[in-house]
Amino acid sequence: MKKFFAKNGPGYFFLIPWFIGFFCLALGPILYSLYLSFTKYNIFKPPKWIGLENYEFMFLYDDRFWKSLEVTFSYVFMSVPGKLIFALAVAMLLDKGMRAIGFYRALFYLPSILGGSIAVAILWKQLFEYNGVINSLLAKIGIEGPYWLNDPNYSLYTLVMLGMWQFGSPMLIFIAGLRAIPRELYEAAEIDAASKWKQFYAITVPLLAPVIFFNLVLQMIDAFKTFSSAFIISGGAGAPLDSLNFITVYLYNEAFAFYRMGYASSLAWILMLIIAVFTGVAFFSSRYWVHYENERD
Amino acid sequence: MTKIDRRKFMKAAAATTGAVAAVSTMGTQAFAADSTIRHFWWGNPSRDKRTFGVIEVFNKKHADIEVIGETLSFPDYFAKLTTQVAGGNMPDVIQQGYGVLFEYVDNGALKPLDEFVGKSLDLSKIDKSALAAGTVNGKLYAVSIGANSHMALTNTRLFDEAGITFDPFGWTYDDVKSIGVEISKASPDGVFGTDDNTANYQNFSDFVGQKGVTMFNADTGDYQVSAELVEEYWSMWTAIREAGATPPGKASAGLIKPPMAEWGVVTGQTAISYAWSNQLVGAQGLVQDKLGTAMYPNTPAMTPGSIVQPSQFICLTRDTVDGVAATTYMSAFVNDTDMTAILGLERGIPANPDVRAALAPNLSEAEAASVAFFSGIQGKTATLPPPPPSGANEIEQTFERIATGILLGQDSIPEAAANFIRQAGFIRRRAG
Amino acid sequence: MTDLSIQEASEIAHNYRVIRDKRKRRAAITKHLFLAICSLIMVYPLIWMIVSSVKPDNEIFGNISLWPSEFIWQNYPDGWNGLFLSFTVFYKNSIIVTVLAVIGNTLSCSFAAYAFARLEFKGKNIFFALMMMTLMIPYHVVLIPQYLLFLKIGWVNTFLPLIVPRFLAGDAFFIFLMVQFFRQLPRDLDEAAMIDGCSPFKIYWAVIMPLSLPALATTAIFTFIWTWEDFLGPLIYLNDIRDYTVPLALRNFISQDSVSMFGQLFAMSILSIVPIFVFFIFFQKFIIRGIATSGLK
């Protein structure tokens, strides 16, 4: 017993706040939502146990569920790589000694600051209107722009662009990560006349791998859970033609507009399982490409 | 939770977080009143200021009751109310719309008012029709605080420039087409005659009434509209669009239940938009040209389809701690002329004739226009059907979604209509 | 080659230098040009918002021109007092909640992250997986269970649900972020300190924390921004308007069925990002300076 605590005690000590928070505040609601996913619960009246009926309906009969999966997956696969590459490129550009660097950094973070506000939703709609700024720019180079937000073939792209435009958070984390790489390594490489490209994949990528991994996992989770921008821009209903009916938007409406909290919970748990699988795969793969300083030997 | 509890917890908060000075000053309040009543509404800057003004007047007049106001914007309001329903701590008095009233009544979230009427709640001066609107299954659940009806808004400058005169209380869908085409022709490129109502469920519900059909069966709640009727409605608007009276279908496909800022008359893209009468004042504030008013169009038979319905109710919730105090406040809210003078027409036309008369001399131009509109539609409206049953919201959203496919030219009208009726039936079965 | 005169050789060398310099200059110009264009895209929404904030309401929508017919600076003082209470109250509430959240998150998350990154104990992987799970569940379905919990312990209508979880490491995002940074620090540091007789707490406080300024600053910045902009939490838990935070108040400018105050909304939206901007500018220095100046290596 004594030995157990001598070995594990410090770890548990540092986790005390987390233990309290997780077991007293977080776990209960999560388990309750799992319970609700097996019930019919219209919020007004107590939940009623219906077994697997919600899941059965979802997989066998609910076309909108499958459509929402398609939308969500398309969004994740389009926006995450783009956003990460963009964030890393700008972070590296801004990492170098350069005039007005702080100024640029603040500027690039701006869209993320404006992120959730109503004002940005109004602006985004105005930009992508048929007669909006984007299409008049396209017209100047002889392209007739589409109805970005109204046409289900294009609406998701505008949202992907909005997502990529708000690349400030991963960028900042990349900058912090780049700063942690010792300068001497680059200086040594410079002396060895290693090309920039070589420096990138021989020094930057391996040493930044933990941060790249973090951004990848978190951006992925975030993208799967995208809600606010899709909700506002699609008028709250995933319009047009469910092309913006992200699974989160769908479950929000099920819960709060149509009073089907039980079904919404089952949707949420399916989404969570999907995210868990992807995160698990990412963690598993990280063994092969992410190496930590303290675990080198 | 009582206030004392709360203060105790704020102290606990201070201890936990070490922010004694910052936190402990919050939320403390002198409490002399016997009864505390929470009143919750969705609002806007002007309505909030007016309503808090009213609460102040009421609290001064009633030393034994303390009313506390809570306000949020419309979309946030129902999310929060839903959470409070789950928690069993709804405010005493809440604002409700006609659309979800039944959902709340059916699930026992509201308390009938009958036991208070004639005692703490004086409804002797309220219009009979307004009282009927708040009655479900023979019990009164809701007091109207403003009447409302469908209203088409017209850009008078564009109408004048195209030289158009029409009867705003008796025009037909054919008129919409011809007027729309004329305005499209007379106006600069990119400006069209009218908004496209293919996906406008409010217009569709008018149309159903104009055809003599009641949407939901009063007893069973079944959706009684036929696929042929839906098909006729969509074909009619498609014809109006194809004649050139509306913007292209793709342009309208993004304007499903648009916020006011995106209406055709507000952006200047069209000369006619279709709204609710209590939105006139707000819309006029966003437009430089003067707005005119009209009923929604009708068929040549002129069977009434529009209804006058309460735009907003105040209701007593099942979670109230003091029904008498709460209804005393509700009573004053609709009768006390000191209070109603502050409220004005902001929530719609009041249901108390004395209140209407008292307000008449001090109306703004747009407010006067909405009053004039209301006298114009007298006798031209249909009787109010019972509040829509559970699932009505979802049917509306489904209609809008399927109609979008027609606007985009992706789906054939007969197939879409049949699909809609099938889904509406399913939604009702699932809700029941 | 042998025929090359000295003059010719020096000419070639000179040309080479010119070309190289030219290329360098061109690269620098390209870089600045790229950054400038990007900045324009980034800053456009802010300009648009500022212009909209001084436009008359009836020019914001129908009118395409960016330039207002008259400047309504009055939107700022009017907006400040445009709601039922002055924005002074909302700012005070926002600052209390945000500052406490920043303190809570940086402390409690670094605590938990230290355990996960540097200490060994039984059940570590399971706890880590559970922590990641809290990141994956869509927020909207735990909203009601969480509300019921906080209602039961009497915290509804106080700031507690917004603050206490922050002191209990409730934000898995930041735990994971710091884990990734801590794992990059050399193991020798801990070992050396351990040999000197330092306790795990001393190592955490005197060794790990000072070396992790970039990660801590990133946490502080994100917590500040996300808490400042959060509206769902305040929406659900705060009833009394005297407790409203800035984003919650901002949404009250827009009306569904009556007069909205768009000019005032934009004016207050601009003012609402000022604290974020100031905080960002101040704390981003720590990301940049980070390890470089701490002198420990």
Length of chain C in terms of residues written? 297
| Nearest residue on chain B to C162, alpha-carbon basis | B13
Q: Residue C59: inside a domain, yes or no?
A: no
What pLDDT score was predicted for residue A97?
60
Helices (H), A21-117: 27-36, 53-60, 63-95, 101-114
- Chain B residues whose CB is inside 8 A of the A242 CB are 401
Q: Residue A154: inside a domain, yes or no?
A: yes
CA dist., res. B83 & res. A225, Å (int) = 21
What pLDDT score was predicted for residue C296?
41
Q: Do C10 and C121 fall within a single domain?
A: no
Helices (H), C137-208: 139-152, 160-167, 172-182, 187-195, 200-202
CB contact under 8 A, C287 and A179: yes
What pLDDT score was predicted for residue C257?
63
Looking at domain B148-308+390-431, its CATH class is: alpha beta
Terminal C-alpha separation, chain A: 31
Q: Residue A258: inside a domain, yes or no?
A: yes
CA dist., res. C170 & res. C172, Å (int) = 6
| Antiparallel, parallel or unpaired: β B35-42 and B291-294 | unpaired
Answer yes or no: is pLDDT of B215 > 80. yes
Å between C30 CA and nearest CA of chain A: 12
Alpha-carbon radius of gyration of chain A: 23
- Chain A residues whose CB is inside 8 A of the C231 CB are 116
CA dist., res. A203 & res. B216, Å (int) = 69
Amino acid found at C248: L
Q: Residue C255: inside a domain, yes or no?
A: yes
Name the DSSP letter for residue B317: B
| Nearest residue on chain C to B87, alpha-carbon basis | C148
B175: confidence class by pLDDT, cuts 50, 70, 90? very high
Q: Residue C69: inside a domain, yes or no?
A: no
Q: Which chains touch A (3 or more CB pairs under 8 A)?
A: B, C
| Nearest residue on chain A to B399, alpha-carbon basis | A241
Q: Residue A207: inside a domain, yes or no?
A: yes
CATH code where residue C254 lies: 1.10.3720.10
Calculate the CA dihedral of residues B397, B399, B403, B405 and round it to 10 degrees.
70
The per-residue pLDDT for range B227-238, each reduced to its tens digit, is: 999 999 999 999
Check if A54 contacts C (Cβ < 8 Å): no
Q: Do C86 and C133 fall within a single domain?
A: yes
Q: Do C87 and C27 fall within a single domain?
A: no
Mean pLDDT of C228-240: 90
- List the single residue in B47, B83, B287 with the smallest CB-CB distance to C258: B47
Answer yes or no: is pLDDT of B31 > 50. no
Exposure of A66 by Cβ count < 10 A (0-12 exposed, 13-18 middle, 19+ buried)?
exposed
CA dist., res. B213 & res. B233, Å (int) = 13
Name the DSSP letter for residue B351: S
Q: Do C237 and C116 fall within a single domain?
A: yes
Answer yes or no: is pLDDT of C295 > 50. no
Would you call the peptide bond into A240 cis, given omega within 30 degrees of 0 as the criterion?
Answer: yes
C55: confidence class by pLDDT, cuts 50, 70, 90? confident
Task: Give the max Cα distance, chain C.
Answer: 95
Check if B397 contacts A (Cβ < 8 Å): yes
Q: Residue A33: inside a domain, yes or no?
A: no
Give residues 114 to 153 of A whose Cβ lies within 8 Å of C.
114-120, 123, 131
Asked if residue A95 lies in contact with residue C290, where contact means CB atoms within 8 angstroms, the answer is: no
Q: Residue A112: inside a domain, yes or no?
A: yes
How far CA B23 is from CA of B366, C90, C97, C105, C164, in Å, comes to 45, 14, 9, 18, 13
Query: Mean pLDDT lowest for which of A97-111, C77-91, C187-201?
Result: A97-111
Enclosing domain of residue A255: 40-118+148-295
Closest by CA position to C274, among listed C28, C80, C108, C134: C80
CA dist., res. B54 & res. B325, Å (int) = 16
Å between C211 CA and nearest CA of chain A: 9
Answer yes or no: is pLDDT of B259 > 90. no
Q: Do C102 and C12 fall within a single domain?
A: no
Higher-scoring residue by pLDDT: B73, B155 = B155
Exposure of B199 by Cβ count < 10 A (0-12 exposed, 13-18 middle, 19+ buried)?
buried
CB contact under 8 A, C252 and B48: yes
Sign of CA dihedral C66, C67, C73, C74: negative
Q: Residue C228: inside a domain, yes or no?
A: yes
Question: What are the sequence ranges of the domains in chain B?
Answer: 24-146+311-367, 148-308+390-431
CA dist., res. B291 & res. B99, Å (int) = 27
Mean pLDDT of C25-32: 78
Q: Residue C68: inside a domain, yes or no?
A: no
Mean pLDDT of B294-314: 91
- Superfamily holding B24-146+311-367: Periplasmic binding protein-like II (3.40.190.10)
Domains B24-146+311-367 and B148-308+390-431 share a fold: yes
- Chain C residues whose CB is inside 8 A of the B12 CB are 160
Asked if residue B162 lies in contact with residue B182, where contact means CB atoms within 8 angstroms, the answer is: yes
Mean pLDDT (chain B) is 87
Q: Residue A137: inside a domain, yes or no?
A: no
Name the DSSP letter for residue A96: S
Q: Which chains touch C (3 or more CB pairs under 8 A)?
A: A, B
pLDDT in tens, chain A (297 residues): 667 777 778 888 899 999 999 999 999 999 999 999 999 998 899 999 999 999 999 999 999 999 999 999 999 999 999 999 989 988 888 776 656 677 777 788 888 877 666 677 777 777 888 877 788 888 888 888 888 888 888 899 988 988 888 888 898 889 888 877 877 888 888 888 888 888 888 888 888 888 999 999 999 999 999 888 888 888 788 878 889 999 999 999 999 888 899 999 999 999 999 999 999 999 999 888 888 765 543
Enclosing domain of residue C150: 75-294
| Antiparallel, parallel or unpaired: β B65-72 and B35-42 | parallel
CA dist., res. C157 & res. C133, Å (int) = 28
What pLDDT score was predicted for residue C259?
64
CATH code where residue A187 lies: 1.10.3720.10
Q: Residue C119: inside a domain, yes or no?
A: yes
B432: confidence class by pLDDT, cuts 50, 70, 90? low
- Chain B residues whose CB is inside 8 A of the A256 CB are 78-79, 82
Mean pLDDT of B226-254: 93
Give residues 157 to 216 of A whose Cβ lies within 8 Å of B.
none
Helices (H), B198-312: 201-210, 227-242, 249-252, 264-267, 280-284
Name the DSSP letter for residue C238: -
What proportion of chain C, given as a percentage, has pLDDT over 70?
91
The per-residue pLDDT for range B321-355, each reduced to its tens digit, is: 899 999 999 999 999 988 988 888 888 888 888 88
Give residues 221 to 260 of A whose Cβ lies within 8 Å of C.
221, 225, 227, 248, 251-252, 255-256
Q: Which chains touch B (3 or more CB pairs under 8 A)?
A: A, C
CA dist., res. B108 & res. A45, Å (int) = 9
What proportion of chain C, given as a percentage, has pLDDT over 90?
29
Q: Is C68 helix (H, G, I), strand (E, B) or coil?
A: coil
CB contact under 8 A, C52 and A255: no
For residue C167 the two structure tokens come to: 């002191």
The per-residue pLDDT for range C97-132, each reduced to its tens digit, is: 999 999 999 999 999 999 998 888 888 899 999 999
Asked if residue A75 lies in contact with residue A227, where contact means CB atoms within 8 angstroms, the answer is: no
Q: Residue C83: inside a domain, yes or no?
A: yes
Q: Residue C235: inside a domain, yes or no?
A: yes
For residue A199, the tally of other CB atoms under 10 A from its CB is 17
Q: Is B29 helix (H, G, I), strand (E, B) or coil?
A: coil
Mean pLDDT of C86-105: 94
Q: How many domains does chain A have?
A: 1
The per-residue pLDDT for range B273-303, each reduced to its tens digit, is: 999 988 888 888 888 899 999 999 999 999 9
Per the listing, tokens 């092309």 go with: A243
What pLDDT score was predicted for residue C11?
80
Answer yes or no: is pLDDT of C256 > 70. no
- Chain C residues whose CB is inside 8 A of the B72 CB are 235, 248, 251-252
Tell whether pTM > 0.95. Answer: no
Query: Mean pLDDT lowest for which of A175-184, B134-143, B188-197, C215-224?
Result: A175-184
B26: confidence class by pLDDT, cuts 50, 70, 90? very low
Closest by CA position to C119, among listed B221, B6, A11: A11
Give residues 87 to 106 of C whose Cβ lies within 8 Å of B.
93, 96, 100, 104
Give residues 230 to 269 of B whose Cβ lies within 8 Å of A.
250-258, 261-262
CA angle C257, C263, C267 (to 5 degrees): 125
Q: Do C34 and C117 fall within a single domain?
A: no
Asked if residue B303 lies in contact with residue B210, where contact means CB atoms within 8 angstroms, the answer is: yes
Q: How many domains does chain C have?
A: 2
What pLDDT score was predicted for residue A172?
86
Å between C3 CA and nearest CA of chain A: 30
CB contact under 8 A, A110 and C38: no
Q: Do C176 and C131 fall within a single domain?
A: yes
Mean pLDDT of B83-89: 92
B272: confidence class by pLDDT, cuts 50, 70, 90? very high
How far CA C287 is from CA of B62, B201, C221, C293, in Å, comes to 58, 53, 10, 11
How far CA B239 is from CA of B178, B242, B243, in Å, comes to 11, 5, 6
CA dist., res. B71 & res. A51, Å (int) = 39
Answer yes or no: is pLDDT of B19 > 70. no
CA angle B238, B241, B244 (to 5 degrees): 150
